[in-house]
Structure 1
Amino acid sequence: MKAIQLAEPRQFAQIEIDEPSSPGPGEALVATHRMGICGTDLSGYLGKMPFFRYPRIPGHELGVEVLAVGEGVTNIKPGDRCSIEPYMNCGACFACRNGHGNCCENLNVIGVMVDGGLRERFLVRADKLHPSTKLTYDQLALVETLAIGCHATDRGAPQKGEHALVIGAGPIGLSTLEFTRLTGATVTVMDLVPSRLEFVKKTYGIKHTVVFKGDGSELEQMHEITDGGLYKVVTDATGNNRSMANALNYVGHTGTLVYVGITTDEISFAHPLMHRREMTLKGSRNAMPGDFTRIIGLIEDGTINTNPWITHRTSFDAMIDNFEDYTKPETGVLKAIVEVA
């Protein structure tokens, strides 16, 4: 059976692996149809993802078909199309016991810490499968990306009429934007790349966008947008330590800063700024099971339109040759999809 493995940073190889066994109790055998390439995959390829373990078969944004189920499985059946919740939590640690399996102390994310879906077939816990009778495999592969933004928005909890800033208009920033706009908050998006800001204006009707130039001019624009109050909620989706440190400057008094991007570098800032404004600083990791159910429903009823998201496609066999291009912003990639089957 074919699979693609990332042996070490920048070293992909197509390999042959054994067929999976029959599903045991609580398991399902699934076939991968679509895999979305996300920032985690790109960072793993570049050697910048702190949780990535090599060698690894990537793939955690997945649209799959159920082939068989094991004993006791009732939530899905053979033939179902599903999105996978890729966070394999233990269920017993402090975080799990308190309802936070997304940050389980023993967490294994498929495609990051354990092998993922960039292969023809594999076994997975059946409780991590979220079916839909309406969504395509393309759409199902986008659910996990959207779930990251859904959870990050919940962490910041912007309210209707408040000013909220999303820093970074890549896939995670866009997924955060999707849910921030649903709260009724007044959204500003900032990015280095003007074409990405044009995309959010055209696609989402976002009125307030800021091009970051590194000269401090963005603050003047932000004061004008917010009538001097800056932002009640700021979410940094860049994964860049300099951006993450600088983001404190945009948080208004008693506001909240959410880090959803991940960096391997240190983040440093002057404490008086945070203290004076009595900020709340939060991390956002992965997503919750209910986010997947909610997102599938929002796509099914048309509240979220996934059509603009997919900008690039590749076949399974051509992915290795094409992958390097997906690391380059100038190619215009927002979301690349691997057509596995």
Structure 2
Amino acid sequence: MKALICSRPGAFEYKDLPAPVLQPGHAIIKIKRIGICGTDLHAYQGTQPYFNYPRILGHELAADLVDADALSGFVPGEALTFIPYFSCGKCIACRNGKPNCCVTIQVCGVHVDGGMADYLSVPEDTLVKSDGLSYDELALVEPLAIGAHGIRRANVMKDEFVLVVGAGPIGSGTMEFARIAGGRVIALDINDGRLEFCKRIINVEHTINASAENVVGRLEEITNGDMPTVVIDATGNRKAINSGLQYLAHGGRYVLIGLQREEFCFSHPEFHKREGTLMSSRNATRQDFEHVIHTIKAGLIHPLTYITHRVQFDEVKDVFEEWLNPSAGVIKAMVEKE
């Protein structure tokens, strides 16, 4: 089978590899779509935590089932997606219903090889029914589930102000689920194109350009001086993460979806006087995947509007670096395989 390998930061190479062989408890899937996400971009740049080279990237996937060990309810040839976080089922996190932060988690395309290949072997208990979604929609379930999980962590309530810092695909999805939960959403970014997408496509109520406006002043104006009771970072940018606390209301919740390699820090007195709650939000669970699929089918989210760039699998090596440039205007790049 053909695979695209990230051999080191800044370097891709196509190789012919043996196709996976069916193993007990696993399924073989044929890849049809690959969504490109921040994890893939950061891996290519050499800034992705928990990462080793060489690695086959790709975990936002749509596929057809080829074969499975002993799985009931699925038939060969049917379209599906899967939960790309392989957990042990035995550690304290798994025992407490949090397999998304398993002690020995193996994330597809990060810790183990992912879906930039013709075929992939995955644990059969990670498969997720398509429920009638298209390949494009299925490939977008996972990134939307990241946002859905973050909003569930934040326990967003009706009519409270939710500031999402970072208007990329993960941030935009987070805004969608904040809106669905009843929150009044504020988008903060430095890219006018992405802020316009948030306003025009996903109906975000308020947008702020951090490089052109007084952020604290605008937040006070929007919230009548209260400041947002939920602040969510979806940038994975150290400076943005460190700055986020100043935007938080007293008694508020600060949720970190974005991830970067270094330490983060902020003023303890500022955090303490707010009696703030700090949370991380890692990956997602089957509950989040099912919630995303339901919202798509109900017409509450229209994920195809996220796709701004499309390429064939054979073209990825030549165009991937272009997607790192903000001027390319990428919201979501989708790789097609036949």
Aligned twin of 1:223: 220
Q: Do the aligned partners of 1:172 and 1:237 also contact (CA within 8 Å) in 2?
A: yes
Mapped to 1, the partners of 2:58 and 2:290 lie a distance apart of 20
Q: Which amino acid aligns with 1:147?
A: A
Asked if the contact 1:153–1:179 (Cα under 8 Å) also holds between the matched residues in 2, the reply is yes
Counterpart in 2 of 1:4? 4
Aligned residue for 1:63, secondary structure, equals strand
Q: With structure 2 as the length reference, what TM-score do the two structures score?
A: 0.98
Corresponding residue to 1:308 among 305, 308, 312:
305
Over residues 299-326 of structure 1, what are the superposed CA-to-partner deviations in whole Å (9 max), with x where a residue is unaligned? Answer: 1221211121000011111100000011
Give the equivalent residue in structure 1 for 2:256.
259
**Amino acid paired to 1:223:** E
Residue identity opposite 2:61 in structure 1: L
Quote the Cα distance in structure 2 between the aligned partners of 1:33 and 1:184. Answer: 35
Find the counterpart in structure 2 of residue 136 from structure 1.
134
Give the CA deviation at 1:156. Answer: 1.0
Paired AA for residue 255 in structure 1: G
The question of whether the paired residues in 2 share the 8 Å contact of 1:75 and 1:126 is answered with no
Cα deviations by residue, 1:67-107 (Å, 9 ceiling, x for unpaired): 11112x11422122111110000111111111110000100
**1:319–1:327 distance in 2 versus 1, CA, 3 Å:** same
Q: How does 1:1-341 map to 2 (within 5 A)?
A: 1-21=1-21, 23-71=22-70, 73-213=71-211, 217-341=214-338
- The answer to whether the Cα contact below 8 Å between 1:158 and 1:232 also exists between their aligned partners in 2 is no
**Is 2:175–2:204's contact at 8 Å kept on the other side of the alignment?**
no
Q: Distance in 2 between matches of 1:300 and 1:79?
A: 22
Partner deviation per Cα, 1:26-75 (whole Å, 9 max, x = no partner): 2211100000000000000001111122111111000010011112x114
Question: More deviation in 196-205 or 329-338?
Answer: 196-205
What TM-score, normalized to structure 1? 0.97
Question: How far is 1:141 from its partner?
Answer: 0.4
Q: Which runs of 5+ in 1 are unaligned?
A: none
Can you list the C-alpha shifts for 1:139-177, whole angstroms capped at 9, x where unaligned? 100000001000011111110011110000001101101
Q: Is the 8 A contact 1:119 1:340 kept in 2?
A: no
Per-residue deviation, residues 209-249 of structure 1 (Å, max 9, x unmatched)? 1100277x111010000000101100010111111010000
CA contact (8 A) 1:67 1:79 kept: yes
1:197 alignment partner AA? L
**CA contact under 8 A between 1:4 and 1:14: conserved in structure 2?**
yes
Question: In 2, are the aligned partners of 1:101 and 1:288 still within 8 Å (CA)?
Answer: yes
The one-letter code of the counterpart of 2:187 is V
| Contact 2:27-2:121 at 8 Å conserved across structures | yes
Alignment partners' CA distance in 1, 2:211 and 2:51: 31
Pairwise CA RMSD: 1.1
Give the residue type in structure 2 aligned to 1:135.
L
| Distance across 1 between alignment mates of 2:72 and 2:330 | 38
Q: Which amino acid aligns with 2:154?
A: G
Percent of matched pairs sharing the same residue: 43
Distance change >3 Å, CA 153–CA 133, structure 1 → 2: closer
How many residues get paired? Answer: 338
**How far apart, in 1, do the equivalents of 2:182 and 2:131 lie?**
30
Q: Quick one: which amino acid aligns to residue 195 of structure 1?
A: G
Shift of 1:256: 0.4
